[in-house]
Structure 1
Amino acid sequence: MAEPVEVNRARVLEGLPHGFLGRRGGVSNGVVAGLNVGLGTGDEPKAVTENRRRAVAAIEPGARLATVYQVHSADCVIVTEPWPDAERPHADALATDRPGLLLGVVTADCAPVLLADPVARVVGAAHAGWKGAVGGVTDATIAAMEALGAERGRIVAAIGPCIAQTSYEVDAGFRERFQEAMADNAEFFAEGRQGHFQFDLEGYVVARLQAAGIGAIEPLHLDTYGDPGRFFSFRRATHRAEPDYGRQISLIGLPPQ
């Protein structure tokens, strides 16, 4: 019997088609075994296509999947129709007010953020690695949602599986770059081994959302690095000298009216 797709959901997004998926429930094999949805991996294209189909079916059967070509930017695009894979815009966030679409972002340690204004019926999804997070990808997503009629005080957001602070060691230069952006950013770094620090990516994203005036924020506290049975992790694969790494997907859409 095939393993079911594991879906992690957020209380603040209850009533909306959404989910933070991991690696369980897919057909890929080898180092990317499971529900690998990464188009840029060395995985069999047919396996990735099937995994994406399973992901959509687990959240909103019959919906059309919209994704972007992620480049660690702070750019958000408004979606009215999905793009062919070869024509996906270079961006790291999406927003829509169209039912029947599922917005998807793929991650492998970066933070996936799903957002919604249920009253205005507007949703968004953001891929927040450290570059995009400090550059303002969540702020860009909120702005795009407001352009569609959302109000930030009504927007709720959830942060899915990402690398936890205990797993995210960085050097002093990394910490200095964040402090140059804003002195208060020092609070997101804990002391590590000599000359190194532990960065709290999830906590930083929460703080950016709070500063933007988001109504409710729910971090799921799921560590991609520390749970290899459930999640893909770029850093874990690098530390293990593996030749490739999988990507998981996070999805959100709007129910029919």
Structure 2
Amino acid sequence: MDIKSIHKVPRETLEHLLAGIPFFKTIRQVDPSQFELLLQASRVAVYGPGEVVLQKGEVDAWLYFLLKGRLAVYVDQPGKGDLVNYVTPGEVFGDLAQLVGATRTATVIADENTRESMVLALDFTVFGPLKSVKPVTLQTKLAYYRNMAHNLRWKLEVYRSQHLQHPLANKHRQIKLYQGVKDTMDELLSLYEQSRALAQLLVQWNLEFGALTEEQMQADQTLSIHTNSSQSI
């Protein structure tokens, strides 16, 4: 693993890679000063094949975004636990533990068949208390949690489509969408509660169906590509 200060990555390269992440793309367009703030709270790490990115059971304040390469997610340890899924460029990971206030729920390693994987790690403590709007603004927090709720619902839809009769299949559809005034603290609080409830459901699904088939993984990756390329926040 090679950890680099954000300033050690050529700016043009960094901006190109971050353009593939909906959250960062939105913030850069809407509020460049917030984009810079988030970068100041970030670092870049490069992993070789098989290196551990996240360890199940660990506790930390980092939120991760895959810039390039591919990562493998295991319910326990590689070679012992089941392969849950792959993380592909543009995806956020490490978010479940942040949302449910728990230790890391899975072990993530750099894919054995990928020469190099690059990850952006954002120190989530920069967000501060949920209701605080300094230094991270309300609009930035709204963008983050809108993106989070959207992605979690999509992942739960993947499970639902393959297990329609399961007791958990429609649980996420019972979590109500926000119907109030947009761009307000009320919307942020609603998005946060939605995201927490959706994250808890996803943890339940992952525990019950730890190992995905190759067909299911391909379906999830296709869905991820659709989400990353078409989402408007």
More strand per residue:
1
Q: TM bucket by the smaller chain? A: under 0.3
Q: If the length of structure 2 is used for normalisation, what is the TM-score?
A: 0.27
More helix per residue:
2
Q: If the length of structure 1 is used for normalisation, what is the TM-score?
A: 0.25
